Homo-oligomer: A and B are copies of this chain.
Amino acid sequence: VSLRSKRLAKRLDPAASAFLDSTLEDAGLLLDDIIGSLAHVSVLEDAKVLDATEAGRLRSALRHLFKDASEGEVPLFTEHEDVHMNVEVALTKVLGDLGKKLHTARSRNDQVATDLRLFAQRWTLETAARIRDLVESLLWLSKKHPKAVLPGYTHLQVAQPILLSFHLQAHAERFLRDLARLRDAYERLLVSPLGAGALAGTTHPIDPSISANALGFDRSFRNAADAVSDRDYLAELLFAASLALTHASGLAEEFILFTNQSFGFATIGDDYATGSSIMPQKKNPDVFEVTRARSGTLLGALVASLSGLKALPLAYNRDLQEQKRLFVQTFPLVAPNFGLLARMLRSVTFHPERMEAAANEGYGDATELADYLVRQGTPFRDAHHQSATLVRMAGQKKVPLAALTAKEFAKVNPKIGADVVKHLGPHNAVKGRKSPGSTGPAHVEAGRKQLLAELATIENFFVAAGQAREAAWMTLLGKTSKVKK
């Protein structure tokens, strides 16, 4: 089964053939290709290209092939160039010329575009599911540690005390935005390109909305040339993954810091740490380090995608094959990483006494002291100055602000009363935060509930999307039970 036209007198140089071969990355698209063909059978039957018997035989053969492929029993051969031809060859072995007839009113250009969108749906559903796991772990940890305080940092310098739960919820906010971006991208995935042909549509009076509906797409393409050349969705998903992993890299960075001996804020479970063959004392946070690195890897994939799309004329160019390769390669790098972080976070032990000590050592309550002075009538600028002076005094004694004596306080400002200590120290500071969205305990708890509600909303979207997709596939496969996706 060669696609080489009679115009081409020579066989392809084997080096060129190896260079252009895409069966390796296509292996990930095999199920998508078969299911797409099943939908196309209905289009051809509707257009009278196939009669009912032919359609039935094709369906049956494709469903068998799908089953075999699900069980890993359909090898792809390089000599057949790509997944589409491999499927055609497999069909033809069983059905003879009828197998080839399936290629009516479509081309590899719309076929690969369909496969990629179906694959991208699976990629997105899986990634979204694992990010949801991660958000749940963060909120689980947040609920588990309602009272632990942490030095809040700006410029990685101790700034103001915050609740650990508040901090974890800040991370959850980021990943919720990632889920929203994945949701928007998913909606743009639901346009079927099947039936666009090479670039101009087809001379057969087919109805592309039939396969679009059968595959669970929202609608069919509106312009064939756009349908075969659009790869926006890959770039958009790579961006979403890149930003989500950038968020993960920030989380990873913090845990690398927090488990460092000088911080000592947290310990990773032994089942997520590595040791050293020569340093007996080591316990290394490798998963966090590789996560941090992977944010760069996804950024690289995004650059490769966008740079690869630059300045291409319409419509299909073989450059687009590289887009496919790049995207398929990221599948094992994205969703599993979030899933692993979700599990690993639940193994973390926090050390509240170390966190509190660090907040004290860094004088995170200096703002509270200044605010206390202002409430007593000291002008803000003077209050700021006096608080800084007291920080310096406490620093020389190596004690927290609250451990200064009444005499020492009075030396700087005689109005400072014994009640000042009620405002000092990380716990008091945190309790003093009164505004919505602040680290005040009631506001943090309220925030957690809002996060849970938003998570549920977005989870509903993805669950419904996944179910709709699965139902469509089940119907195409002639099944009622669950299919392994």
Choose the segment among A34-42, A69-77, A216-224, A456-464 that binds chain B (4+ C-beta atoms closer than 8 Å).
Answer: A216-224
Q: Determine whether A295 belongs to the interface, using a CB cutoff of 8 Å to chain B.
A: yes
Which residues on the B side are within 8 Å of A221 (C-beta)?
A: 437
Which residues on the B side are within 8 Å of A209 (C-beta)?
A: 436
Contact with B along A241-272 (1 / 0, CB 8 A): 01100100110111011011111100001111
Tell whether, in the assembled complex, residue A199 and residue B154 are in contact, meaning their CB atoms are under 8 Å apart: yes
> Nearest chain B CB to A416's CB is how many angstroms away?
14
Tell whether, in the assembled complex, residue A108 and residue B318 are in contact, meaning their CB atoms are under 8 Å apart: no
Which residues on the B side are within 8 Å of A432 (C-beta)?
A: 203
Query: How many chain A residues touch the partner (CB < 8 A)?
Result: 186
Contact with A284, one of B155, B286, B290 (Cβ below 8 angstroms): B155
Tell whether, in the assembled complex, residue A391 and residue B280 are in contact, meaning their CB atoms are under 8 Å apart: yes
Tell whether, in the assembled complex, residue A437 and residue B223 are in contact, meaning their CB atoms are under 8 Å apart: yes
Q: A154-B109, A286-B20 are in contact. Are A223 and B391 (CB under 8 A)?
A: no
Q: Which A200-225 residues have a C-beta within 8 angstroms of B?
A: 200-209, 220-225
Which residues on the B side are within 8 Å of A430 (C-beta)?
A: 200
> Nearest chain B CB to A226's CB is how many angstroms away?
4
**Complex Cα spacing A256 to B118, Å:** 31
Tell whether, in the assembled complex, residue A152 and residue B200 are in contact, meaning their CB atoms are under 8 Å apart: yes
Contact with A311, one of B301, B310, B322, B451 (Cβ below 8 angstroms): B310
Tell whether, in the assembled complex, residue B159 and residue A290 are in contact, meaning their CB atoms are under 8 Å apart: no
Q: A10-B270, A300-B304 are in contact. Are A284 and B435 (CB under 8 A)?
A: no
Q: Which A98-130 residues have a C-beta within 8 angstroms of B?
A: 100, 103, 105, 107-109
Q: Determine whether A422 belongs to the interface, using a CB cutoff of 8 Å to chain B.
A: no
> Nearest chain B CB to A411's CB is how many angstroms away?
16
